Amino acid sequence: MDETFGKKEKLKSKKLIEDLFQKGKSVKNFPLRLIYISLEQKQDVQFQTGVSVPKRLVKTAVQRNRLKRLMRESYRKNKYIVANTTGFSYAFMIIYMTPKEMGYDELFAAMERLMKKFKEKEKWEN
């Protein structure tokens, strides 16, 4: 399994992000929330993913940036759970939902559970 998180996999389109928040479905697993939407046209990559840490929960930019790095890394390591199981493409936004700063091990476990919940919600079977 390819464990990269390249430029094409990053969610950058403002229009797609707006659609994601307006029409997207949600899965929660404390302290993370995944908002996702299925993309109609076939993309080069299966998932386009963005991460967010709200300023109102984590005040300093240093802490927010660290949490975003940890979230991206834990997503990169856990995306094998949902990858290559369907022909559909998805846009993901992963949001951090607690003011408490968490370590890598906690975020990694939470991301793993979140990906499994997403997989169950979409009723995929390997």
* The amino acid at 98: T
Going from N- to C-terminal start, the domains of the chain cover 7-117
The architecture CATH gives domain 7-117: 2-Layer Sandwich (3.30)
pTM of the model: 0.90
The mean pLDDT of the chain is 90
Tens-place pLDDT, residues 42-88: 677 888 999 999 999 999 999 999 999 999 999 999 988 888 666 68
CB 124 within 8 A of CB 44: no
CA 54 – CA 37 distance, rounded (Å) = 21
As a whole-number percent, the residues of the chain with pLDDT over 90 amount to 69
